[in-house]
Amino acid sequence: MVKRSFRVGVMAPSSCSYLPDRQESIAVVLDPELHNMDGYNALIQSGFRRSGSNIYRPHCGECSACHSLRVDTFGFTPSKSQKRQINQLSRLDVRLQDTLDDEWFSLYERYINKRHQQGSMYPANKHDFLSFVQSDWQDSKFLHLFDQGKLIAIAVTDVLEQGYSAIYSFFDPDHPWSLGSLCVLAQIKVAIENKTPWLYLGFQIDECDAMRYKQKFKPHQRFVAGQWQQTP
């Protein structure tokens, strides 16, 4: 059983990555006995998230814009546009694998060069990417999407006791379909097939345009004021 109290380290405030007019601060779990699959399974249910081997969540003094969001996979009801995307997904070969496809870095590099030249992950670097998505204690899988044999997307997915956690996705930046949304729909599909009730999508920030896609997957819950709350 995971203990109820634990130590965190709070990082000094810095410019927010998502809301440029705000300051952000991060609380990082320090107790080494929580850095394992059991510990993380408990902590993710309290709004925490993983980056590499670090477990963290926002701890901002004057802002509460970030809410952890999880999709109810068993109750998921697709919208009209999502039904069209599910039809597209049915034409793809979806594989949940233990390892990355040999072509992964070529796809990742194209994605970063086209979509995130101003971001912290540019230029694309294999070591930096693997340090970000993997840890030595968490069971991570790689959800691959193939279109007629061609690799078009990968969604890095943590497999937890009561849910999947979407860590990071990258895809063919020139493909005509909305591959970011298709990655989430594929994760929901695989979660349902494996009787997994939740898909954790990280932090939802309503004021950030890049984050708004997450709230389109319903029903979902947000972690607000220390508890999960159903969102209409």
CATH number at residue 125: 3.40.630.30
Q: Give the separation between CA 221 and CA 223, rounded to whole angstroms.
A: 7
Mean pLDDT to the nearest integer, 165-190: 97
Q: What is the mean pLDDT of residues 40-49?
A: 94
pLDDT at 174 over 90: yes
Domain membership of residue 135 (yes or no) is: yes
User: Domain check: are 149 and 50 in the same one?
Assistant: no
Averaged pLDDT, 171-191: 97
- Among the residue ranges 40-49, 82-91, 113-122, 213-222, the one predicted with the least confidence is 113-122
The whole-number average pLDDT for the span 37-55 is 95
With cut-offs at 50, 70 and 90, classify the pLDDT of residue 1.
Answer: very low
Angle between helical axes of 80-89 and 179-193 (0-180°, round to 10): 80
End-to-end CA distance of the chain: 33
Q: Are residues 143 and 55 in the same domain?
A: no
Provide the percentage of residues in the chain whose pLDDT is more than 70.
98
Let me know if residue 149 belongs to a domain.
yes
pLDDT value of position 86: 98
Look at residue 119 in the predicted model and tell me its pLDDT: 80
Cα gap 98→108, rounded to integer Å? 18
The whole-number average pLDDT for the span 37-46 is 94
- Please tell me which residue, 162 or 85, carries the higher pLDDT value: 85
Q: Evaluate if residue 3 carries a pLDDT over 60.
A: no
What's the whole-number mean pLDDT along residues 100-109?
98
Sole residue written with tokens 């939802």: 204
Contact 166, 198 (CB under 8 A): no
In a domain, 2, yes or no: no
- What pLDDT does residue 4 have? 66
The answer to the question of residue 40 being in a domain is yes
Are 22 and 58 members of one domain? yes
Domain contains 147: yes
| Residue 121, in any domain of the structure | yes
Q: Could you tell me the residue range of the domain that residue 57 belongs to?
A: 8-66
The reply to whether 3 falls in a domain is: no
* Gap between the Cα atoms of 210 and 208, Å rounded: 6
Regarding whether 165 and 81 lie in a shared domain, the answer is yes
Has residue 54 got a pLDDT over 80?
yes
Is-contact 40 50, C-beta < 8 A? yes
pLDDT digits (tens, 9 = 90+) for 57-78: 999 988 999 999 999 999 999 9
Identify whether 116 is part of a domain: yes
Residues 132 and 30 in one domain: no
60 and 75 both lie in a single domain: no
Q: Do 62 and 74 fall into the same domain?
A: no
Structural domains in the chain (count):
2
Residue 171's SS3 state is strand
- For the segment 113-121, the average pLDDT, to the nearest whole number, is 89
Task: Specify the pLDDT at position 5.
Answer: 80
DSSP assignment letter at 110? H
Q: Is the dihedral of CA 148, 149, 155, 159 positive or negative?
A: positive
